[in-house]
Amino acid sequence: MSEKLDMNATGYKTNCLVCGSDLVYSTNSNKSECYYCKKVYESNVKCAKGHFICDNCHNLPASKLIKQFCINSQSEDPLVTALILMRNPQVKMHGPEHHFLVPAVLLSAYYNLKKDEEKKTEKIEESEKRAKNILGGFCGYYGDCGAAVGTGIFISLITGATPLSKHEWKLSNMMTAKSLFSIANVGGPRCCKRTAFLSIIQAIDFLSENFSIENMNKNVKCEFNSLNKECIRDSCPFYDRRR
């Protein structure tokens, strides 16, 4: 984990959107780099740990925030990128923005590992268009959780799969199948955090089995159980009793 957390997820509603720390207001403004878009602004507010978020990023809708942050991030850890985005109030406890968040954090980490900035941007933009077609509530109404489909989009994009491909087609569908199996095994009710984490971890295993990408972090603890009235708590692999 790159950021150490010391407060409950609800603290992000009023404090630093990145780490939950108190905001510190100074009398003089300083040049500060925005945590999300990496642009430099004059500002006199930062969190106690030094995070600054520009007004533009503060007001972005979830899809734009996810796209901007995943394109600019240099992280090779998709679970950490997912957590940082999930802490932002624009990313709701549950919602179809997770269908885009899953492929976006995976594409970001994958192309950071490959050191290919151009492809990273291009593929994240394409994943956003594809993820828009996965409606909210798909998990329960169609038997096909959008986070799992997100991992299929990810593999389709990195392999360049089309409906006519052979091996790439197999890999893309296999990826979604593995994510869905893992999601189904835990059971309902839906939780977009749990299914996103499960799908990302399945994708990490899939990258190791099929693309020789080893040693990606698979550890994550949920920070959002207090916001989820249907949380299954001890039955969830990511539940953190201390919260």
Region of residue 143 (left: phi > 0; alpha: psi -120 to 50; beta: else): left
Sign of torsion over alpha carbons 169, 171, 126, 151: positive
Nearer to Zn ion, 37 or 91 (CB): 37
For Zn ion, give the closer residue by CB, 17 or 222: 17
Structure tokens at 14: 């009023």
Contact between residue 222 and residue 197 where contact means Cβ atoms under 8 Å apart: yes
In whole angstroms, the minimum distance from the beta carbon of 18 to Zn ion comes to 4
Q: Which is nearer to Zn ion, 17 or 231 (CB)?
A: 17
Q: At its nearest, how many Å lie between Zn ion and the CB of residue 88?
A: 12
DSSP result, 28-75: EEEEEE-TTT--EEEEEEEETT-----HHHHT--HHHHHHHHHHH---
DSSP letter (8 states) at residue 27? E
Least distance from Zn ion to the Cβ atom of residue 220, Å: 19
For the bound state, the minimum distance from the C-beta of residue 58 to Zn ion, rounded and expressed in Å, comes to 8
- 145 to 25, 94, 181, 199: CA distances (angstroms): 42, 12, 10, 10
Binding site for Zn ion (CB under 5 A): 16, 18-19, 21, 34, 36-37, 47, 49, 51, 54, 57
Q: Can you tell me the distance from the alpha carbon of 210 to that of 221, in angstroms, rounded to the nearest whole number?
A: 26
Smallest gap from residue 156 Cβ to Zn ion (A): 30
Nearest CB to Zn ion, comparing residues 21 and 176: 21
Q: Which is nearer to Zn ion, 11 or 136 (CB)?
A: 11
